[in-house]
């Protein structure tokens, strides 16, 4: 299945993780509380009451995990800094123990021939900042720029690739609009300032990183095609509204310096001035992609797979519909490889020469196979990866400038409100013993990478 799966010379291969999902050690090394610690402590918020308090214990087992990466053959590791581990209160100088942990991780990666590609923010806001208004407050953009400066001062000499913010759409929608993720607010469209403040924080962080010597900077934004549920005018209009809200509200300001029509007036602050900061030129643009969404006019029959099972409130002008005729992951997401190439071509067509090179900063699937006689034979994940990588290659052949692919995820981890029920990893983790077992998909991807290095 790998014989003809080839990519251009210099194409980068990596895996992705995030701090709260794998690190554990939430009370060690001076780390302060995060919004996810608080959210997990609220009854009924996370499946089975599970938390990231231990997760994969990467904080203590990072050397073992780097060895797994080295054996896999990747050249880049995308991880995230834990903001409350670096700045327990969200302000001030860096916490020495937290900085030391990432020193050890980065040096171990470099010693294994793996380039670190850290993300500054993957949803774990320091709780004191949330108490002060969180992403609804403009002040957090200043705090984020200061945080970026702390990281640049410590790590710019060894980090060749930086990512500012992960999936600002998801924090806005799931965290502040629907309340399904931390901090659990249900503000609906009143959550739009959260989108603006994340984008402004991104732009300020780009500037702060560059001022501190950081190079090769991008963002990791999630995108997927929105397909109208039918050709009716009502469904086409509803799909367009959803597409703007989910996709272009978060990409247009960064790449074009403007919001989709109708959104600018809803944003706080001196928006025109802010957009100049938000659109600070990037070295590359990161796309996280999983599944397309079918959308139609509201009928009260929404399929909630697009919101991870969270029901949408009444009164919306659109609703996700079930995509029939496709296999689904164990999380219920439709498997549609062609959609991967489609969204990449859409970016090329929409942004033209305003689009920098692209990296795929996340792509993967929840396949919940477990060891049988010590072997995790996850053939469905292999089929998924094969199909999506072929779709990616077809987009490259059509002229889309994609420089690398980072698979989500290295190992099974804490999957937010779904707890430990969904396994996205190439490596199986036994959450009782924390034993790591590379899956069949790990060995398959190893062979793909090796063949592309011949």
Catalytic residue among 362, 432, 435, 454: 362
Check whether 288 is labelled as a binding-site residue: no
**What was the pLDDT predicted at 104?**
98
| Calpha distance 410→59 (Å, rounded) | 15
SS3 16: strand
DSSP secondary structure of 23-87: ---TTSTTPPPBHHHHHHTSTTSSGGG--SSSTT-HHHHHHHHHHHHHHHT-SEEEEE--HHHH-
pLDDT of residue 1: 60
**CA contacts within 13 A on the Cβ side of 218:** 24
Note if 264 is an active site residue: no
Task: Supply the pLDDT for residue 174.
Answer: 96
Give the model's pLDDT for residue 31: 98
Check residue 2 and give its pLDDT. 58
CB 258 within 8 A of CB 275: yes
pLDDT, residue 279, reads 98
- Residue 162 is assigned to a ligand binding site: no
State which H helix or E strand residue 203 sits in.
helix 192-211
Helix or strand run (H / E) with residue 235? helix 233-243
Q: Is residue 21 annotated as involved in ligand binding? A: yes
d(CA 266, CA 245): 12
Domain boundaries, the chain: 12-452
DSSP secondary structure letters along 320-332: EE--TTS-B-TTS
Among 50, 167, 319, 342, which one carries the catalytic annotation? 167
Q: Annotation-wise, does 166 bind a ligand?
A: yes
**Considering only the top CATH level, what class is 12-452?**
alpha beta
Tokens of 128: 């004191």
**Residue 363, annotated as binding a ligand:** no
Measuring CA to CA, which residue among 257, 249, 259 is closest to residue 281? Answer: 257
Polymer length of the chain: 454
Is 23 noted as a catalytic residue in this protein?
no
- Residue 3's pLDDT is what? 58
Q: Report the Cα 329 to chain-centroid distance in Å.
A: 18
What is the rounded distance in angstroms from the CA atom of residue 94 to the CA atom of residue 391? 42
> What local confidence, expressed as pLDDT, does residue 304 receive?
79
Question: Annotation-wise, does 290 bind a ligand?
Answer: yes
Residue-level pLDDT, tens digit, the chain, 454 residues:
655 899 999 999 999 999 999 999 999 999 999 999 999 999 999 999 999 999 999 999 999 999 999 999 999 999 999 999 999 999 999 999 999 999 999 999 999 999 999 999 999 999 999 999 999 999 999 999 999 999 999 999 999 999 999 999 999 999 999 999 999 999 999 999 999 999 999 999 999 999 999 999 999 999 999 999 999 999 999 999 999 999 999 999 999 999 999 999 999 999 999 999 999 999 999 999 999 999 999 998 788 777 778 888 888 999 999 999 999 999 999 999 999 999 999 999 999 999 999 999 999 999 999 999 999 999 999 999 999 999 999 999 999 999 999 999 999 999 999 999 999 999 999 999 999 999 999 999 999 999 999 8
Residue 416, annotated as binding a ligand: yes
Note the pTM of the prediction, 2 decimals: 0.98
Element holding 419 (H helix, E strand)? none
């Amino acid at each position: 299945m790998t014989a003809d799966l080839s990519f251009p010379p210099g194409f980068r291969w990596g895996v992705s993780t995030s701090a709260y999902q794998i690190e554990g050690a939430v009370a060690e090394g001076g780390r302060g509380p995060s919004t996810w610690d608080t959210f997990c402590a609220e009854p009924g918020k996370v499946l089975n009451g599970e938390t990231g308090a231990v997760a994969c214990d990467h904080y203590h087992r990072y050397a073992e995990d780097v060895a797994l990466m080295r054996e896999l053959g990747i050249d880049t590791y995308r991880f995230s800094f834990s903001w409350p581990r670096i700045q327990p209160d969200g302000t001030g100088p860096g916490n020495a123990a937290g900085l030391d942990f990432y020193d050890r991780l980065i040096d171990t990666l470099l010693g294994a021939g793996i380039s670190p590609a850290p993300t500054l923010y993957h949803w774990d806001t320091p709780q004191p900042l949330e108490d002060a208004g969180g992403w609804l407050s403009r002040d957090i953009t200043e705090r984020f720029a200061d945080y970026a400066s702390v990281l640049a001062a410590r790590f710019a000499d060894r980090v060749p690739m930086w990512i500012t913010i992960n999936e600002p759409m998801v924090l806005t929608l799931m965290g502040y609009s629907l309340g399904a993720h931390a901090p659990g607010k249900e503000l609906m469209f009143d959550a739009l300032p959260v989108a603006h403040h994340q984008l402004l924080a991104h732009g300020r962080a780009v500037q702060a990183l560059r001022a501190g010597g950081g190079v090769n900077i991008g963002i990791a934004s999630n995108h997927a095609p929105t397909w109208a549920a039918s050709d009716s005018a009502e469904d086409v209009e509803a799909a367009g509204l959803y597409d703007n809200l989910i996709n272009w509200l978060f990409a247009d300001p960064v790449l074009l310096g403007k919001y989709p029509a109708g959104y600018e007036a809803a944003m706080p602050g001196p928006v025109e001035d802010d957009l100049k900061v938000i659109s600070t030129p990037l070295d590359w643009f990161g796309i996280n992609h999983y599944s397309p969404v079918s959308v139609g006019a509201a009928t009260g029959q929404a399929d909630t797979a697009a919101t991870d099972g969270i029901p949408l409130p009444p009164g919306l002008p659109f609703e996700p519909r079930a995509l029939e005729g496709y296999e689904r992951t164990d999380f219920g997401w439709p498997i549609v490889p062609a959609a991967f190439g489609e969204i990449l071509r859409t970016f090329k067509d929409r942004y033209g020469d305003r689009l920098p090179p692209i990296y795929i900063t996340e792509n993967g699937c929840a396949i919940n196979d477990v060891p049988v006689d010590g072997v995790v034979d996850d053939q469905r994940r292999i089929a998924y990866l094969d199909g999506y990588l072929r779709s990616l290659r077809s987009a490259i052949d059509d002229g889309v400038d994609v420089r690398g692919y980072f698979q989500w995820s290295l190992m099974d981890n804490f999957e937010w409100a779904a707890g430990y029920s969904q396994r996205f990893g190439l490596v199986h983790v036994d959450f009782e013993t924390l034993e790591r077992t590379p899956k069949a998909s790990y060995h398959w991807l190893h062979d793909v990478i090796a063949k592309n290095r011949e």
